[in-house]
Amino acid sequence: MTGTELAVLAAEGGGMTGLDLVRTTPAAPWMTRIEAHPSWETLSQLRITMRVGVALNRFRVRDLLTLKVGQVFESVSPETEDVPLMVGQVQLGWSEFEVVDQRMGLRLTRLG
């Protein structure tokens, strides 16, 4: 049986006659693109602040004040571990950092 077939137990006259295969179409995800959501026009206008924190090893205010371009600091978090993405006091999900063309981006990996 494949992912598009469904086994149905057929009954006739009160007795069971066996299994019939019924072809079905796979269920579509409830929303394939956020822009397709009926409330997108309103949602797209909301202004929120998202926060992602990475614990740094031995990082002090003095280090922040003397920060230079290209300077690297050691993180306490393993590089393979996703970091929490917060909106206010609510965790929206988990994310990972990605560097593309000397720019750092954040990718949402799963919802919280």
Residues of the domain holding 37: 5-69+80-111
Query: In this structure, how many other beta carbons lie within 10 angstroms of the beta carbon of residue 85?
Result: 23
88, part of any domain? yes
Examine residue 74 and state whether it is found in any structural domain, yes or no. Answer: no
Tokens coding 105 = 């981006």
pTM over 0.75: no
Domain with residue 29: its CATH number is 2.30.330
**pLDDT single digits (tens) 48-101:** 888 888 888 888 899 889 988 888 888 887 777 888 889 888 888 898 888 888
Report the number of distinct structural domains present in the chain.
Answer: 1
Q: What is the pLDDT of residue 1?
A: 46
Which of 6, 98, 2 minimizes the C-alpha distance to 52? Answer: 98
Q: pLDDT tens digits for 32-49?
A: 677 888 888 887 888 888
Helix ranges (DSSP H) in the chain: 40-43, 61-65
Q: In this structure, what token pair is assigned to residue 70?
A: 């290209």
Phi, psi of 35 (to 5 degrees): -65, -15
